[in-house]
Chain A
């Protein structure tokens, strides 16, 4: 158990809908990262927050947005869902900034299926 929690575990929805994925980092970790993993794309970095502020952006679509709240939990919002958005979404956390040689602790993931 990494100490990172993600809810829900599974999500099935229809195209065009909007969903919210939630992540609670390990106690004491200030950085939160979001990743998307699909069979054909591998693990893709989406976005990173550090202590409530956005720090780095990867291949995140404009239909996706995220935020980190004062209690350090984070939410990833996916809207106007398409079939291709079906994937495993992972959240990871680390103590400090990525540049500080911190390891990342990954949550169990949310499996999103768009029908």
Chain B
């Protein structure tokens, strides 16, 4: 069956450290993968998009990697700050189908 999973429901890290979030998928053939940030009671906000033929993308303190062999994407936030605390969602667009979102990882950056 098709599945998209994110490594953990919640992740706590110390301010200044690098947060690494994982997104794994099974039985999908994604054209691309996106990462979104969602704060409580608000709509998701787009962060990064990575295509199937790209290995890595960066934007300021954010980095995303995409390994189609492992069927995995990693999302990194370097020099994390308490303001980075939120739920992070990965989403993929399956060829010929539609968007599928992961369950999300709730990140807490502790001062």
Identify the A interface with B (CB < 8 A).
2, 4, 33, 35, 42-45, 48, 56-58, 88, 90, 92, 98-99, 101, 103-109
The answer to whether B49 touches A103, judged by C-beta atoms less than 8 angstroms apart, is yes
Q: Closest residue of chain B to A58, judged by CB? A: B98
Query: What's the interface size class on B, roughly?
Result: 20 to 34
Give chain A residues whose Cβ lies under 8 Å from the Cβ of B43: 2, 4, 90, 92, 106-109
Give A92 to B89 CA distance when docked, in angstroms.
15
The answer to whether A98 touches B93, judged by C-beta atoms less than 8 angstroms apart, is yes
Mind listing 7 A-B residue pairs with CB under 8 Å?
A: A2-B45, A42-B104, A43-B104, A101-B32, A101-B49, A103-B34, A105-B46
Give chain A residues whose Cβ lies under 8 Å from the Cβ of B44: 43, 90, 92, 104, 106
What total of A-B pairs shows CB separation below 8 Å? 57
Give A65 to B27 CA distance when docked, in angstroms.
28
Q: Closest residue of chain B to A59, judged by CB? A: B98
Cβ distance A71 to chain B, nearest Cβ, rounded Å: 22
Q: Closest residue of chain A to B95, judged by CB? A: A99
Give A57 to B96 CA distance when docked, in angstroms.
11
Give A56 to B91 CA distance when docked, in angstroms.
16
